[in-house]
Structure 1
Amino acid sequence: MATQEPSSSDAVLLPSIAATSPTVIVKVGTEGKEYILHTELLKHHSGYFRGALSGAFKETDDGVIPITDIDTDAFDTFVDWIYRGITTFEPSSSGKQLFNAYNSYILADRLLVPGLKSALLGSYCELFSGKSHKRPACRAIVELFRNLAEDDPLLRLCVDVWATRKAIYKLKDFEKDEASSLPQSFFVRLMLRMNELGQNPPSVGTFKREDYSERVRLDG
């Protein structure tokens, strides 16, 4: 299991402080799944919740924060991470688990949780630099490019993996149909990267975790 960075800020939050802080109900998904969470943990790790719990959002007046347009499995990953300090995503995870990890990364970006993004990104680097020859699926690339900023390090990693493995020449039959949905911006970046790397690109293993860093976004 991947470990998290200590926090999304430089300060360390003591468990005794987190566990004795007030709680808030976060209602997630279209069915409104309820999570009862400690406010100090939420504020410590998430810029989004720091804003929500500062009184900036009227939805918190009754002690409930509704977020109806996100996936509950991805939010489970976020909750497990802030309480346990680990993610359950591993290089041996199934395709379904990998896709949920992508959704969790998108959620972490939306909720301004750089620590979780970093932990997941480290797992992706480990996964794609291994001998499994795995690469981001077409549908995952579609979602990532739709929801992340163009300079996000995970997008750069996706492009690098496809370029170094010459994935465009190795598509399976079902992938050829899915490839028609890939965004133009991905194809442009892929062609430019393949041109930069040349006919004999380095292996994915030469790309290290430190090659993929992100400027921390400041929350309001």
Structure 2
Amino acid sequence: MSTSPTKPEPGSTTPTTKTPSAVTKAVSVATKIPPGNCFKGIVTVDVGPEGTSFMVHRDLLVFYSDYFRGAFNSSFKEAVECKLKLPDERVDVFSIFNKFIYTRQLFDEDVDPTWQLLIEVWLFGDKHIVPALQNEVMDTLIAKNAKLKIIPAAQLQTIYDNTLHGSPLRRIVVDWVTYKSEMQRSLKSEKTDLNWPHEALVDLAIGLGSKKAEKLGGYVMPADKLARCYYHVHNEGESCP
């Protein structure tokens, strides 16, 4: 989950984190190729409770992530020992991140990732400040929605538990429900599960309240929300080609 910027306590080895709106140095455009000097020094990242080890190029981590930049470009013990532990992260999620920073692809062509896995990878990018990863996952989520005509409402609790107000991940799901779902049919169904987080219901009410009359029943996203980078994480002035 994204947290507010913090200064490390004296002697702390925890890198600082940021809110989604803060300026980052990490690359946010997935097609941008890392420079050759990113493939020199190696560090070890131990992931999960059992400490599955990944050997990764240090400067490649720094290129894509401000979290890892803070860990390895500093006087923290992680930088000195060239080793970082992420005991609370999932090995499968880190494996996808690791594949992405080397290939700029999330999955092999024959892989059809679940909504839950995609959301977990986006949240990893949010927590570790990897905007290019978040944007690539967002494009995959949008393509999956367009293909399947399904909204991952079952993942709303996970999304709202791990993001802040205004998060692109919150906005995309609420916008899908607002503009692309059959709200009247859903609300009248006895089988409807409205066990949404309170914040999600508030966001949905605001979204429905701002929906223009001519858009009711149209099941089409407004043109501005279809822009390539509308749900992306970029510094001001940046955009995808």
Does the alignment reach a TM-score above 0.5? yes
Instruction: Give, in angstroms, the shift of residue 27 of structure 1.
Output: 0.5
Q: Among 139, 142, 148, which residue is 1:132 paired with?
A: 148
Q: Among 80, 90, 93, which residue is 2:112 paired with?
A: 93
- Cα 1:151/1:38, change in 2 over 3 Å: same
Conservation of the 8 A alpha-carbon contact between 1:26 and 1:64: yes
Conservation of the 8 A alpha-carbon contact between 1:89 and 1:123: no
1:155-205: CA deviation from partner (whole Å, max 9, x where unpaired): 1110011112135743888762xx42x210100111221222243344148
Gaps of 5+ in 1: 1-6
TM-score normalized with structure 2 length: 0.73
Paired residues, number: 202
Instruction: Give, in angstroms, the shift of residue 90 of structure 1.
Output: 7.6
Could you say which residue in structure 1 is the equivalent of 2:122?
105
- Cα 1:155/1:111, change in 2 over 3 Å: same
Conservation of the 8 A alpha-carbon contact between 1:74 and 1:104: yes
- Cα 1:64/1:211, change in 2 over 3 Å: closer
State the distance in 2 between where 1:99 and 1:89 align: 18
Conservation of the 8 A alpha-carbon contact between 1:152 and 1:214: no
Could you say which residue in structure 1 is the equivalent of 2:173?
158
Instruction: Give, in angstroms, the shift of residue 210 of structure 1.
Output: 3.4
State the distance in 1 between where 2:131 and 2:38 align: 19
- Cα 1:200/1:167, change in 2 over 3 Å: closer
Conservation of the 8 A alpha-carbon contact between 1:105 and 1:117: yes
1:8-63: CA deviation from partner (whole Å, max 9, x where unpaired): 1688523x4233x1101000111111000001100111000101001343234322
TM-score normalized with structure 1 length: 0.79
Conservation of the 8 A alpha-carbon contact between 2:45 and 2:86: yes
Moved over 6 A (4+): 89-92, 171-175
1:56-103: CA deviation from partner (whole Å, max 9, x where unpaired): 432343221001111111111110100111111889825xx3211110
Q: Among 200, 207, 214, which residue is 2:233 paired with?
A: 214
- Cα 1:124/1:9, change in 2 over 3 Å: closer
Q: What amino acid does structure 2 have at the position aligned with 1:189?
A: D
How large is the RMSD of aligned CA atoms in angstroms?
Answer: 2.9
Could you say which residue in structure 2 is the equivalent of 1:203?
220
Instruction: Give, in angstroms, the shift of residue 216 of structure 1.
Output: 3.6
Instruction: Give, in angstroms, the shift of residue 133 of structure 1.
Output: 1.5
Q: What amino acid does structure 1 have at the position aligned with 2:69?
A: R
State the distance in 1 between where 2:76 and 2:140 align: 34
Q: Among 23, 44, 59, which residue is 1:40 paired with?
A: 59
Q: What amino acid does structure 1 have at the position aligned with 2:97?
A: F
Q: Does 1:17 align with 2:31?
A: no
Percent identity at matched positions? 22
State the distance in 2 between where 1:166 and 1:90 align: 31
SS of corresponding position for 2:85: strand
Could you say which residue in structure 2 is the equivalent of 1:3?
none
Conservation of the 8 A alpha-carbon contact between 2:28 and 2:135: no
State the distance in 1 between where 2:161 and 2:134 align: 17
Q: Which has a greater percent of helix?
A: 1
Could you say which residue in structure 2 is the equivalent of 1:4?
none
